[in-house]
Amino acid sequence: MGTGTKCIGQNKMRKTGDILNDSHAEIVARRSFQRYLLHQLWLAASRQQCIFSPGTETGKWKLKPNVVFIFFSSHTPCGDASIFPISEPENQLSKLVTGGHAGGQSAECRSNHNHLCAEDKRKSGKMASNHILKRMKTYDGGCFSIITEDLAVQHESVKLQGNTSQKSCERSAEMQTANKETGLVRPKLVDVHRTGAKCVPGELGDARTPGLGYHSVGLLRVKPGRGDRTCSMSCSDKLARWNVLGCQGALLMHFLQYPVYLSAVIVGKCPYSQEAMRRAVIERCQHISSLPDGFLTQEVKLLQSDLQFEHSHQAIQEVQTNSKTKLVPCSAAISWSAVPEQPLDVTSDGFRQGTTKKGIGSHQSRSKICKVELFHQFQKLVTSISREDLPDTLRMKTLKTYWDYKEAALNYQEAWRVLRSQALLGWVKNAKEYLHFT
């Protein structure tokens, strides 16, 4: 599990691997997951009960059948997945049309934007006598439905068009006059949800024109910093990478016969677009070819839940509608991992909470999920296994630094090279000097 909203700027990055560069919740959760996988691999090597079974290659393991991992995020990932149109009716008080909206609309509804589907007609009639109003925003696959005060069900189809370098959101149709019998209208699209993530240096940028043309979509982005630019790619971009390379990372790939993929990504109740999520996480990398054996472009399930995180910015705003107090995100990040020793880890500004300036650099200042701590746990796993039982890639005596061990995961590095060259061009990589620690 992970919580967090902060990133450190590039001037605060350290060559010792003892600081968390990216403390967004999705990244903290993934690093917590890597810590869990490390512990499970230690159990496997010790012949104890775990999630792995022996692979066909020496020293390699694979997930047991029916072991799957589902990624839940309380909010849409920052970056490309967060860019989709806002329409005027979103500012009205509305009641959610349930049934098929949490995980994608029915094919019938998606294929016919101009008419009410049977489910919507049934609910419209049922709710006519139940005039309860509630704020609601929901998107799915370019078509959303709302029931407003006059119970008019409204649909809008959002079409994404563009060439290989740039896409923009365009209205699919002009505003139509409400149908007297059904109350069907096409709401006017007035703007897009905006992301704070900035386009990577040297690549195409956002047009920043007012309204729908403010952002370009499908582009790689880095997370914003407070004055000092970060080197952390957006959560949308990292999810796209994990969907091809797996969530285990380069180090753990030494011990795994296949990457550890997510079966589903579920986003909680918040502004959401199925089309934007699919574009950001799957479609940008769908065309790549020549990946090494075991790696593939996953068709991960993308779903939305109707559960709202009770401590989210949106949830608190709804409760404190009359408050003039400015809501400020918590500066701390929380990590929890299903491991026996110190499962809980709380950090602030990349170090364990409570670290003073004088304490920076000490062992006590390190998060359990920072690079150097995960690397040391990995090294302990390696040394606990006899040389003849190690995978081939770990039998080289020349491996010393974090960089050495990562580069020695040959299949993973080849897959990453293919992915960067064919889909994620412009990815901001950390300089080698930040990875040469021991």
Q: Which residues are catalytic?
A: 26
Q: Report CA-CA distances (Å) from 114 to 87, 106, 137, 144, 182.
A: 17, 15, 20, 12, 11
Token readout for 294 is: 């075991």
CB 423 within 8 A of CB 287: yes
Tell me whether strands 52-54 and 61-63 are parallel, antiparallel or unpaired.
antiparallel
Helix axes 410-422, 235-245, angle to 10 degrees: 130
Helix axes 371-383, 25-45, angle to 10 degrees: 10
CB 373 within 8 A of CB 251: no
Residues shown for the chain: 438
CB 170 within 8 A of CB 212: yes
Secondary structure class of 30 (helix, strand, coil): helix
Secondary structure class of 410 (helix, strand, coil): helix
* Alpha-carbon torsion (414, 412, 347, 195), positive or negative: positive
Distance (Å, rounded) from C-alpha 51 to C-alpha 356?
39
Annotate 288-317 with b (16+ C-beta within 10 A) or e (fewer). beebeeebbbbebebbbbeeebeeeebbee
Separate counts of helices (H) and strands (E) for the chain: 10, 19
Strands in 153-162's sheet, in edge-to-edge order, are: 95-96, 143-147, 153-162, 167-171
**How many CA atoms within 13 Å lie on the side-chain side of 290?**
9
Token readout for 253 is: 């790939």
Secondary structure class of 385 (helix, strand, coil): coil
Element (H, E) at 274: helix 274-281
